[in-house]
Amino acid sequence: MSLLTRLVLRVVGVAVLCLAAATAWIVIDTNRALQAETTATADRVARQIQRRPWLGSAHESAYEDPFSTRQALGVITVMGSGICVDITSSSGSQQHMCNGSDTLGITTPNWFAAVSAGVLHAGQPVRRTISSWSGKRSEVLVRADPVAAPARAWRQIRLAAGLALAMAAGMAVLIAASIAHALRPAEAIVSGIRRLEVGDYASRLPPFAAREFGQIAEAFNAMAQRLERTLAERKALTLRLFQVQE
């Protein structure tokens, strides 16, 4: 495997590790965001129910069954995305509402849902109790939709993965071009060594801009010069021996 290929593969490996770290961070952040949104929604829904005019002290009968269309619409407007709300009135009637608008148009792959099942969770449900002036109580139970966690994480991971792959591909191309240009002196050095191998002791390497390659060129040229001088001295000595024998 060439040095260029090794370096490019290392860059790709670093990009994959960065993507894995980003995925882990997204998973943790998704869990935290859902739990925070669950708590915030519980507070907003409780305030929304308490402030509605038909739920005040003058309308106790309405308070016992706060599930009119107007009330449901008022609750939905303060619900966070991917959050479900269960309201139990003092009379025992229940209303279940979910707001999954953040996952609209997004289909979580089955393999991702299976892999993330042990990591992603909907967090702990949050309860709020609403009391009327007469002491009657209604209960609000807010929890994150179990589908919301993987859907929200998949949306962010898909975006992060797309950006990471695009950046990794662009970096790989730019780095490959830069490395190929930087390693161009290596081809000249190998060519010079091969010329030296076949007996071309007059071969010299040009100076290189890179300090490391420049030092190699200086050492090569010095070695070639010594070999050339040694060969010339040997030829001269051999010629003298022939002259003496004659």
**Res 164: pLDDT:** 75
Distance CA 33, CA 151 (A): 13
**Residue 158 backbone dihedrals phi, psi, to 5 degrees:** -60, -40
- Beta strand spans in the chain (E): 83-88, 94-99, 126-131, 137-144
pLDDT at 231: 86
Mean pLDDT by 10 residues, the chain (246 residues): 75 80 79 83 83 48 51 74 81 77 61 68 78 74 78 78 79 80 84 87 85 88 89 83 72
Tell me, letter by letter, the H, E, C secondary structure of 7-53: HHHHHHHHHHHHHHHHHHHHHHHHHHHHHHHHHHHHHHHHHHHHHCH
Indicate the residue type of 119: V
* Cα–Cα distance measured from residue 189 to residue 198, given in angstroms and rounded to the nearest whole number: 15
pLDDT (0 to 100) of residue 59: 46
